[in-house]
Amino acid sequence: MKVSRRTLLKLTGFGFAATIMLPRMAFAARNSLKSLRTGVQPGNKTRLVIEMAARPSYTLSYPANQLVINIANTAANTSLTPKLASGTLVKSISQAQVGDRLQITANLNKPIAQIPKSQIMMLEPNGDNDYRLVLDFTAGNAAATTAGTATAAKSAAPAKSAAPAKKYIVVIDAGHGGKDPGCIGKGGTREKDVVLSVAKKLRAKLDANGFKTYLTRSDDTYLKLSDRAAIAERRKADLFLSLHANANPSRAMKGFSIYTLSEKASDEEARKLAESENASDKIGLDDWTGFEKDIRFALSSLQQHAVAEMSEEYANGCARTFRGAKIEQQPGPGVRHAPFAVLRSTVPGALLELGHLSNATEEKLLRTGAHQDKLVDAIVRSVKNYNFEV
Ligand SMILES: [Zn+2]
């Protein structure tokens, strides 16, 4: 699942020995510990959350009945009391300063195996929370833990050297199509044609830049919104981009805007836009309920949260890149949020309204190859800048 792939942090597997061999530097802590807490997750999992002021660089090791987390360039925070929930594997947690590292030791009721990367998440700051390293684990597989750090180092090493260069998968969705033209400019330009043209150019350019791309449609065919999201799922996409062009009752309105999924619209305009984009799809509500149920089932709420954060990160970067390329932004925030049906999946992504077909100047611009190329270049840059690996 892409969440885990992207959220895993470098498990260097070097453990103690390598750290000690590093040259000693004067210690100036660059990170600080904000909170330590545990909780119980479905499947009898113990969750350990380490909240930090900055993104931690860490290693894990597994001495007998312990989980040890070494965090670089961090001072211990002895005034902090860990919040330990009952019913977890964690009996107690202690901190120690080891040179410039903060060493957190979780004393466990039972031994655990090396935590798989899929059970390790790094969450960006959000609301009241700072950076959170989230570790989920269950009891068992004591064999792997008895050798402690040595085992962790040994088992992590082959995975590291064997990993081939990964091609990130981008699914490009040209909005509308077939019986659904999308919005239509005064000059007769149809949204479905503009976005298909941009999608094809984008595909070629992303491929040339080492990405693996798929189009949800490569011709003038109608696709349901749920099918588009399902393609992203099936292709195991790392990123999903839905391309659209906008229309506004005010013909003076111009500029691009970028949207991510949220249950609540960020503003009235975003709400209306989501309504009209969703309405282009004539599927019943039941279809969606079914689709979403599967996804909800597959994703823990934390992972849903991670998908939302990754989408947000991409969208912000994309808006920045567009502005950098001197592409006119619609007045207001560059990134907005609304319940777009097409974005409902486990794949991080965004809906890009490339400009306004309802504006005469922009309609003309959107038809030209030169402007389409400019948009494509900006999107390619935004994808290249996006941090697929945390
Ligand atoms: Zn559209």
Q: Quick one: three-class SS letters along 207-259?
A: HHCCCEEEECCCCCCCCCHHHHHHHHHHCCCCEEEEEEEECCCCCCCCCEEEE
User: What's the pLDDT at 363?
Assistant: 98
Identify the residue with better confidence: 28 or 18: 28
Check whether residue 127 and residue 181 sit in a common domain. no
- Tell whether pTM > 0.85: no
User: How much distance in Å is there from the Cα of 342 to the middle of ligand 1?
Assistant: 11
- In the reported structure, the alpha carbon of residue 277 is separated from the centroid of ligand 1 by a whole-number distance in angstroms of 5
Listed residues: CB within 5 A of ion ligand 1: 175, 182, 244, 277
Give the Å distance between the CA of 245 and the centre of ligand 1.
6
**Residue-level pLDDT at 277:** 79
Give the whole-angstrom CA distance, residue 168 versus residue 173. 16
Q: Which of 88-92, 281-285, 364-368, 375-379 has the lowest mean pLDDT?
A: 281-285
The rounded Å distance from CA 225 to ligand 1 centre is 11
**Whether the predicted pLDDT of 292 surpasses 70:** no
Check whether 94 has a pLDDT greater than 90: yes
In one letter, which amino acid is 207?
D
Q: Specify whether the CB–CB gap between 28 and 374 falls below 8 A.
A: no
Strand order in the sheet with 257-261: 212-215, 169-174, 239-246, 349-356, 257-261, 335-338
Residue 74 Cα, ligand 1 centroid: separation in angstroms? 48
List, edge to edge, every strand of the sheet that includes 90-98: 58-61, 66-71, 101-108, 90-98
- Residue pair 173/243 in contact by the 8 Å Cβ criterion: yes
Nearest 5°: the CA angle 354, 358, 360 is 95
> Quick one: 145 and 174 in the same domain?
no
Question: Do 182 and 156 fall into the same domain?
Answer: no
Token output for 262: 């949220």
247 CA distance to ligand 1 middle (Å): 9
Compute the distance from residue 354 Cα to the ligand 1 centre, in Å. 10
Predicted confidence band of residue 197 (pLDDT cuts 50, 70, 90): very high
pLDDT score of 165: 64
The number of beta carbons lying within 10 Å of the beta carbon of residue 126 is 13
Assess whether 367 and 347 both reside in one domain. yes
Confidence label for 112 from pLDDT (cuts 50, 70 and 90): very high
Q: Are strands 349-356 and 257-261 parallel, antiparallel or unpaired?
A: antiparallel
Number of domains in the chain: 2
Query: Considering the domain boundaries, does residue 390 fall inside one?
Result: no
The answer to the question of residue 203 being in a domain is yes
CA distance 317 to 313: 6
Q: If DSSP codes are grouped into helix, strand and coil, which group holds residue 93?
A: strand
Buried b (16+ CB within 10 A) or exposed e, 310-346: bbbebbbbbbbbbeeeebbebeeebbbbbbbbbbbbb
Amino acid at 362: E
Range among 295-309, 323-337, 341-355 rated most confident: 323-337
CA–centroid distance, residue 235 to ligand 1 (Å): 23
CA of 224 relative to ligand 1 center, distance in Å: 13
Dump pLDDT digits (tens) for 223-261.
988 889 889 989 989 999 999 999 988 999 999 999 998
CA of 308 to the centre of ligand 1 (A): 21
Identify whether residues 262 and 129 lie together within a single domain: no
Does a structural domain hold residue 198?
Answer: yes
Which one-letter DSSP state was computed for residue 148? T
155 and 202 fall within a common domain: no
> Residue 291 is part of which domain span?
169-385
Cα(59) to centroid of ligand 1, in Å?
A: 45
Q: Both 98 and 189 in a single domain?
A: no
How far apart, in whole angstroms, are the C-alpha atoms of residue 172 and residue 344? 15
As given in the structure block, the two tokens for residue 98 are 């080891």
Going from the Cα of 64 to the center of ligand 1, the distance in angstroms, rounded, reads 57
State residue 338 phi and psi, 5-degree precision.
Answer: -165, 160
What is the C-alpha to C-alpha distance for residues 337 and 263, in angstroms, rounded to an integer? Answer: 8
Residue 245 and residue 268 in one domain: yes
* Amino acid in position 154: K
Q: What distance in angstroms lies between residue 273's CA and the mean position of ligand 1's atoms?
A: 9
Burial 140-149 (b: 16+ CB within 10 A, else e): eeeebbeebb
The answer to whether residues 96 and 32 belong to one domain is yes
Using the mean position of ligand 1's atoms as its centre, give its distance from the Cα of residue 3 in Å: 27
| Distance from Cα 261 to the centre of ligand 1, integer Å | 15
Distance 373 CA to ligand 1 centre (A): 19
Q: What does the alpha-carbon distance between residue 374 and residue 294 come to, in Å, rounded to a whole number?
A: 38
Q: What is the whole-number distance in angstroms between the Cα of residue 226 and the centre of ligand 1?
A: 15
Q: Are residues 325 and 213 in the same domain?
A: yes
Q: Could you tell me which residues are beta bridge partners of residue 185?
A: none
How many angstroms is it from 338 CA to the middle of ligand 1?
Answer: 14
Q: Give me the CATH number covering residue 222.
A: 3.40.630.40
The mean predicted confidence, pLDDT, of the chain is 80
User: Each residue of 39-92: pLDDT tens digit?
Assistant: 877 667 888 999 999 888 888 999 989 999 999 889 888 889 999 988 899 999
Domain boundary pick from 142, 161, 180: 161
The Å distance, Cα 284 to ligand 1 centre, comes to: 19
Distance 23 CA to ligand 1 centre (A): 56
Nearest to 74 by CA among 93, 89, 52, 90: 52
Residue 269 has pLDDT above 90, yes or no: no
pLDDT number for residue 1: 36
Give the confidence band of 27 by pLDDT, cuts at 50, 70, 90: low
Find the 175 Cα to ligand 1 centroid distance in Å. Answer: 5
**Do 354 and 237 share a domain, yes or no?**
yes
Domain with residue 69: its CATH number is 2.60.40.3500
